[in-house]
């Protein structure tokens, strides 16, 4: 995954110094690498690649006097940017040194050896015991020792913690791909997200770190996220505003940190991130905290940087997600959004007892309704077989169907490399309808909700332009059939919960289109599981 230069063999890691003795791998971006490269070239160092990483082994060579750890500590004072850096030298083959500057780095500890990695799933087959390396710390590993040093070079004593993830989570367990396995794990994942929080018709949410008075005094909620997590935030906005009557602002992390945001008394800042290491989300959290905001994190990874830097943490408990594209972590994030909106509404008295009870009853049924959809995956496989050759896909939704439409389009483009666009159905006439013709597949998320008649009218409009129509509808809806070329029926639920149900068929549909095209769904080109660079 290249940040500088093309993804070619010559740019691939590891990179070496002039002597070939020092080798480095690096996850991050060296912002001042051009300046460093010029200095190193002027002093006789030879470069063979276009990547920023190659300056690192040459800097280590410059500072190396027999102690690779000391050279690494000196190097950290020279570079600007972000990075998890790992290096070895042929002079000490039994030793690995590492450093962290913003980008995640963990040490895996076991009786059979020790490991450095960016995240836990990478080494789950070897150990479940981990030590988090913090910013500006260095680490030295041998087969039987892990030593961590602060930025002054002082030795730190830090005990490992045990991850509750199993090696089975890092295996395909009979599935063709991790993505498919993780799609099918969603009934269990959403149950885990509700476990201990929703029991016997009662909602418990002590993890919020807010007492009843603080919740009643909330004036605004700001939610920031990136990618798929942003779509979960959009659902969160709707349920918090609808059930709790609190204004909600949703922002991209990468925009929030640079736009001089307003943070006031009574504001709650919520950061959603699957990995807990997303660099833009982490920077946005730091920006919000510097302005006095109370920060709450929603993440899947215990001990992640975002978790450690937030005032309170809500873990999704979805289990490790190996496939690059988020699936089960997304639906678990949505569940947390539902629970948060429900809890706020109950405490603030804005949600009636009858409505509160109905929502809880429907939430309890969501795992079984997801399973119902998964049991009919072959229907979606067949629809994908008939439509995968199209070159343009337009996903349309309204209200709770809009985040699903955005996520469906994102999934399809991520793993199939087909142009796909998610759009509010009501905005279609303001541009996207110009793209609609016989080469276009229009995917309509159209459950029988409060805006059903509106989106049905939108579908009729694109049908008149000869587009191929694939409609995702409520079970038993006979009215939509005459306007669709392909249909998939979802189990019925309340309006708000169609937001989570409608994404399941879209995940499967995108998966099967990509498989028909022969794509690698677990490792799509140019994408990374945890985006730890700007």
Reported confidence tier of residue 263, pLDDT bands at 50, 70, 90: confident
The average pLDDT across 83-109 equals 93
Dihedral sign computed on CA atoms, order 332, 338, 342, 344 = positive
Residue 333 pLDDT exceeds 90? yes
Task: Give the residue from 70, 65, 78 showing the smallest Cα distance to 31.
Answer: 78
CA distance 33 to 477: 59
Q: Return the biggest CA–CA distance within the chain.
A: 77
CA atoms within 13 A on the CB side of 269: 27
Residue 4 pLDDT exceeds 80? no
The pLDDT, as a whole number, for residue 534 is 56
Which pLDDT tens digit goes with each residue over 445-484?
A: 999 999 999 999 999 999 888 999 999 999 999 888 889 9
CB 104 within 8 Å of CB 84: yes
The pLDDT, as a whole number, for residue 507 is 98
The pLDDT, as a whole number, for residue 279 is 86
Q: Which two tokens stand for residue 228?
A: 């798929």
Enumerate the β-bridge partners of residue 256: none
Domains, the chain, in order of start with CATH, read: 15-163 (3.60.20.10), 177-373 (3.40.50.10490), 376-516 (3.40.50.10490)
Q: Which two tokens stand for residue 212?
A: 């009843």
Residue 529 pLDDT exceeds 60? no
Tell me the pLDDT of the chain averaged across its residues.
92
Q: Are strands 440-446 and 468-474 parallel, antiparallel or unpaired?
A: parallel
The pLDDT, as a whole number, for residue 169 is 65
Residue 414 pLDDT exceeds 70? yes
- CB atoms near residue 112 (< 10 Å): 9
The average pLDDT across 116-125 equals 86
More confident residue, 534 or 492: 492
- CB atoms near residue 280 (< 10 Å): 23
- CB atoms near residue 286 (< 10 Å): 13
Q: Which two tokens stand for residue 97?
A: 């040194």
Which pLDDT tens digit goes with each residue over 271-288?
A: 999 988 888 999 899 989
CB 533 within 8 Å of CB 84: no
Residue 67 pLDDT exceeds 70? yes
Looking up tokens 């990136």 gives: 226
CA distance 229 to 284: 14
DSSP string, 250-268: EEEHHHHTTS-----TTEE
Residue 234 pLDDT exceeds 60? yes
First to last CA, the chain: 14
**Residues contacting 133, CB < 8 A, separation 6+:** 98, 100, 105, 106, 107, 139, 148
Which pLDDT tens digit goes with each residue over 24-52?
A: 999 888 989 999 999 999 999 999 998 89
Residue 530 pLDDT exceeds 60? no
CB 297 within 8 Å of CB 285: yes
């Amino acid at each position: 995954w290249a940040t500088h230069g093309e993804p070619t063999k010559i740019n691939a890691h590891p990179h070496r110094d002039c002597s070939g003795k020092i080798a480095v791998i690096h996850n991050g971006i060296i912002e001042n690498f051009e300046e460093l490269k010029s200095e190193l070239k002027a002093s006789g160092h030879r470069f063979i690649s276009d990547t920023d990483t190659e300056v690192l082994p040459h800097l280590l060579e410059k500072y190396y006097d027999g102690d690779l750890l000391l050279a690494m500590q000196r190097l950290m004072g020279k570079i600007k940017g972000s990075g998890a850096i790992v290096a070895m030298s042929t002079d000490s083959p039994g030793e690995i040194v590492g450093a962290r500057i913003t980008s995640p780095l963990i040490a895996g500890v076991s009786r059979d050896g020790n490991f450095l990695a960016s995240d836990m799933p990478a080494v789950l087959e070897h150990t479940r015991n981990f030590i988090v390396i913090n910013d500006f710390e260095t680490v030295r590993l041998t087969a039987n020792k892990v030593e961590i040093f602060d930025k002054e070079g002082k030795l730190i004593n830090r005990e490992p913690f045990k991850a509750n993830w199993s090696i089975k989570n890092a295996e395909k367990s009979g599935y063709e791909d991790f993505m498919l396995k993780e799609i099918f794990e969603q009934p269990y994942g959403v149950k885990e997200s509700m476990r201990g929080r929703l029991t016997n018709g009662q909602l418990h949410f002590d993890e919020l770190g807010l007492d009843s008075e603080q919740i009643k005094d909330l004036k605004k909620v700001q939610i920031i996220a990136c990618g798929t997590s942003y779509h979960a935030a959009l659902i969160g906005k709707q349920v918090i505003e609808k059930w709790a009557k609190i204004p909600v602002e949703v922002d991209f992390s990468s925009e929030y940190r640079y736009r001089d945001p307003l943070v006031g008394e009574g504001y709650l800042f919520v950061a959603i991130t699957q990995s807990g290491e997303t660099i833009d989300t982490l920077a946005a959290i730091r920006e919000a905290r510097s302005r006095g905001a109370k920060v709450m994190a929603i993440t899947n990874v215990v001990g992640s940087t975002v978790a450690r830097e937030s005032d309170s943490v809500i873990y999704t408990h979805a289990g490790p997600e190996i496939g690059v594209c988020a699936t089960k972590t997304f639906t678990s994030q949505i569940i947390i959004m539902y629970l948060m909106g429900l809890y706020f509404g109950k405490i603030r008295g804005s949600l009636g007892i009858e409505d509160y009870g109905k929502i809880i009853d429907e939430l309890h049924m969501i795992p079984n309704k997801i399973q119902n959809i998964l049991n009919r995956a072959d229907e979606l496989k067949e629809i994908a077989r008939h439509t995968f050759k199209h070159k343009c896909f337009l996903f349309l939704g309204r209200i709770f169907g809009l985040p699903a439409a955005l996520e469906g389009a994102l999934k399809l483009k991520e793993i199939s490399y087909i142009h796909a666009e998610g759009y509010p159905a009501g905005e279609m006439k303001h541009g996207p309808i110009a793209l609609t013709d016989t080469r276009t597949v229009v995917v309509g998320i159209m459950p029988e909700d409060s805006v059903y008649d509106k989106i049905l009218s939108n579908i009729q409009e694109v049908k008149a332009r000869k587009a191929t129509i694939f409609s995702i509808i409520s079970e038993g809806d006979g009215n939509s059939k005459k306007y669709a070329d392909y249909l998939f029926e979802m189990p019925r639920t309340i309006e708000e919960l169609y937001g989570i149900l409608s994404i399941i068929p879209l995940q499967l549909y995108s998966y099967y289109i990509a498989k028909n095209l022969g794509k690698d769904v677990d490792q799509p080109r140019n994408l990374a599981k945890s985006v730890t660079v700007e």
